[in-house]
Amino acid sequence: MTIVKRFIAGAVCPRCGEMDKLKAWTEDDIQYRECVACDFTDEMSLTAPPEVAEPATRVNQTQADPRDEIQVVNLMDPKAK
Ligand SMILES: [Zn+2]
């Protein structure tokens, strides 16, 4: 398996503040970042944490979301007079 390290365009290193010095790659569901200007390295798990799973209780699901009724969008054409 070939690991491709790519520069992140526009990314600023949180340690040295240099732009376009960060390389990123993914290995075993971990996203790594590395700065070529200093020794900064960072890793972040790409797998979702288990507590994100929604509980099975759906008691309030029959109640309509009030935001659905505030969808008043002004679509009037400013040129139409
Ligand atoms: Zn750096």
For the chain, the structural domain boundaries read 1-47
The model's pLDDT over 22-39, given as tens digits with 9 standing for 90+, comes to 999 999 999 999 999 999
Distance between CA 5 and CA 27 in Å, rounded? 10
pTM exceeds 0.75, yes or no: no
What DSSP string describes 28-68?
Answer: TTEEEEEESSS--EEEEE-SPPGGGSPPS--GGGGSPPGGG
Q: What is the pLDDT of residue 10?
A: 96
CA of 11 to the centre of ligand 1 (A): 10
- Given a contact cutoff of 8 angstroms between Cβ atoms, the answer to whether 11 and 23 are in contact is no
Q: Which two tokens stand for residue 48?
A: 């979702």
Interval between CA 20 and ligand 1 midpoint (Å)? 9
Parts of the chain with a pLDDT under 50: none
pLDDT of residue 25: 95
Q: What pLDDT, on a 0 to 100 scale, did the predictor assign at position 13?
A: 97
Predicted local distance difference test score (pLDDT) of residue 77: 74
36 alpha carbon – ligand 1 mean position (Å): 6
Instruction: Return d(Cα 16, Cα 74) in angstroms, integer.
Output: 47
Distance 22 CA to ligand 1 centre (A): 7
Residue 27 confidence (pLDDT): 93
